[in-house]
Structure 1
Amino acid sequence: MLASNLVLGAVEGVQFNGGDIIFQLLVFIVLLALLKKFAWGPLMGIMTTREEHIANEINAAENSRLEAKKILEEQRNLLKEARKDAQGLIENARKQGDIQRDEIIVLARSEAERIKEAAKLEIDQQKEKAVAAIREQVASLSVLIASKVIEKELSAEDQDKLINEYIHEAGEKQ
């Protein structure tokens, strides 16, 4: 009971003062107006500036990403082109090597043919020399045999005539 008397006495001791409430309400409204003017405005300006800065940073990052992507694509294209050029150079070098190889083969064959022809010519010349030497020997032997068979002496004119006849006959038999 004592507690309930104290609560009632406390409520009875509190008086409602309307002037204080209105004054506090006016001070609160003035404080809100001052806060809005001096704190809220600059705070919102800072927040707006920060928001714009972040938006600019995002845009710059996006632009950088797009530019990096573009540069990467260009680099890939350049790399592909360089590979094509390298492949073309290798192919040209291979073709040039084939052409040179063919030229060397043709030159070697023509040189071999030339050497072969020269050898044939030399063989023919040596053959002619050998035939001429054999004819001379045949002529000498023929004269010797004829002189022994006939056992007479021939004049130089007769000997030349006989030699030429024998050479002519020996040439026809071959």
Structure 2
Amino acid sequence: MLSNHFVLGASTGFNSGDAIFQLVMFIILLAVIKKFAWGPLMGMMKQREEFVASEIENAEKSRKEAADYLEQQRALLKEARSEAQGLIENAKKQAEVQREEIIVSARSEANRLKESAKLEIEQQKEQAVAAIKEQVTSLSVLIASKVIEKELSEKDQEKFINDYIQEVGEKR
């Protein structure tokens, strides 16, 4: 029974050696954890923190670049619209100038054709007058020769003149 009591006494009493041993083991365990687990864990946490900060910084930089790019594209679009409007206006002005040139050219050509036609008509008229003069001359000679061949009375002369006028009218 004595041995039971000894065991019971050991379990109810405070053993300072065990407590110190457990405390030393706990401190050693903390040092080992700090060296092998806590340090790398904190390093990983620091790396993760730097990575997240870098990603946030990159995202902000990308957002700013996208906004700048959007503004550039808007400016380029505005410039392109302005340039297109200028091209349209220029094309309209050029078309107006060409239209005026075509009108002036057409009028000039019409005047040239008109003058050419007038000259041709004048030449035709002169040729017709010359032909008529030639016919009148030949008929006059013919009449004169007939008159000379025979002396005509006043009535015969009128008849020759009327015949002559009629003959000239038919040849026209």
For residues 90-141 of structure 1, give each alpha carbon's deviation from its aligned partner in whole angstroms, at most 9, with x where no partner exists: 3233233223322321221122111111122123223333443454456557
Indicate which of 14, 32, 40 corresponds to 1:46: 40
* Structure 1 SS opposite 2:91: helix
In structure 2, the partner of 1:60 is 54
In structure 1, the partner of 2:30 is 36
In structure 1, the partner of 2:110 is 116
Shift of 1:56: 0.2
Return the alpha-carbon distance in structure 1 between the equivalents of residues 6 and 23 of structure 2: 30
Greater length-normalized contact order (CA 8 Å, ≥ 6 residues apart): 2
Q: Which amino acid aligns with 1:54?
A: R
In structure 2, the partner of 1:159 is none
Q: What is the TM-score with the length of structure 2 in the denominator?
A: 0.63
In structure 1, the partner of 2:156 is none
Instruction: Single out whichever of 77-86 and 23-32 deviates more from structure 2.
Output: 77-86
The reply on whether 1:128 has 2:114 as its aligned counterpart is no
- Which sections of structure 2, spanning at least 5 residues, go unmatched? 148-172
> Residues 71-90 of structure 1: matches in 2 within 5 Å?
71-90=65-84
The alignment of Structure 1 onto Structure 2 pairs a total of residues equal to 145
Instruction: Single out whichever of 130-139 and 107-116 deviates more from structure 2.
Output: 130-139
In structure 2, the partner of 1:103 is 97
For residues 64-100 of structure 1, give each alpha carbon's deviation from its aligned partner in whole angstroms, at most 9, with x where no partner exists: 1112212222332232233234323432332332233
Q: What is the TM-score with the length of structure 1 in the denominator?
A: 0.62
Q: Which amino acid aligns with 2:77?
A: R
Indicate how the Cα distance of structure 1 residues 81 and 118 shifts in structure 2: closer, same or farther if over 3 A, else same. Answer: same
Return the alpha-carbon distance in structure 1 between the equivalents of residues 107 and 7 of structure 2: 143
Indicate the percent of aligned positions where both proteins have the same amino acid: 8
Return the alpha-carbon distance in structure 2 between the equivalents of residues 77 and 134 of structure 1: 84
The reply on whether 1:69 has 2:63 as its aligned counterpart is yes
Shift of 1:34: 1.6
Shift of 1:31: 1.1
For residues 29-63 of structure 1, give each alpha carbon's deviation from its aligned partner in whole angstroms, at most 9, with x where no partner exists: 21122223333354332232122111101111101
- The two structures, once aligned, show a CA RMSD in angstroms of 3.6
Indicate how the Cα distance of structure 1 residues 49 and 116 shifts in structure 2: closer, same or farther if over 3 A, else same. Answer: same
